[in-house]
Amino acid sequence: MLDEEKITKAIVEEFMESFLDHTQIEAGLAGAGPANLVAAKKLAEEGVKTVVFERKLNVGGGMWGGGMMFPRIVVQKEATRILDDFGVNYHEHGEGYYVANSIESVGRLASETVKAGAEIYNLIKVEDVLIREKDRISGLVLNWSAVDRAGLHVDPLAVKTDVVIDGTGHDAEVCEIIEEKIPGADFSVKGEKPMWAEVGEKALMDTTKEIYPGLIVSGMAANAVSEAPRMGPIFGGMLLSGEKAAEIALSKL
């Protein structure tokens, strides 16, 4: 016999056990877009205690809608090995342009990341950071995103983390918080430049970096902070940026 009380307990206990086990983590990722999902999977595979915080109910960022609501994405050759790693199907459409189904892609990015051992907490917004001695980011201040959307005034809670990856897209939300609150931070979120797929994709390998002690930027957040171009519905650079962000994080831990 199914018992609602037991269902309630199963869900609450499982979540709370997980949450209380993750108040001190090694890698805290803000945003569950393609870049951060790639980064989280790699980090988890390396045994890093990893949590992705996503303000929305669903993960996958801007990938769901493909281009102009046509649910297909394009990936270039050098990133197809990441699609392979996640088990996403694709085929070539014109030389050098590989097309995948945007919905399948998000599904695989999400599921393989969790399978690899990373936690994803959706509906949670990063609303502030912990900055400690030596001006290093050392934690994330969290709240239910529904609190904000419902116009409530409720205090947040904080978790500690050794390294943070800001993969919140062109808003670069964690960077924004630091830029606004820490006078000495020597970067600013000026936003991405006009679309230029070729240049934007390549730039990501340079813009994906540690821009503040303990804070790495990935995906469009990386280009937005460094004023590199946007790329449109081609996602190879995003995937590679996630991979690189994970490598940088690993080198810091």
Long-range interactions of 150-156: CB distance < 8 A, separation 24+: 156/127, 156/128
Q: How far is the CB of 209 from a copy of itself (least distance, A)?
A: 22
CA-CA-CA-CA dihedral for 79, 82, 87, 93, to nearest 10: 0
Query: Which 113-132 residues touch a copy of itself, going by CB under 8 A?
Result: 114-115, 120-123, 128-132
Size of the site for a copy of itself (CB under 8 A): 104
Minimum CB–partner distance for residue 117 and a copy of itself (Å): 10
- 81 annotated binding-site participant: no
Q: From the list 176, 209, 230, 250, which residue makes contact with a copy of itself (rule: CB under 8 A)?
A: 230
Draw the binding track, 26-65, toward a copy of itself (x: CB under 8 A; -: no contact). -------------------------------xxxxxx-xx
Alpha carbon distance 25, 207 (integer Å): 25
**Dihedral pair phi/psi, residue 246, rounded to 5°:** -65, -40
Site for a copy of itself in 161-180 (CB under 8 A): 177-178
One-character DSSP codes across 42-60? HHHHTT--EEEEESSSS--
Q: How many CB atoms lie within 10 A of CB 247?
A: 15
Binding residue ranges for NAD(+): 35, 54-55, 62, 126, 153-155, 220
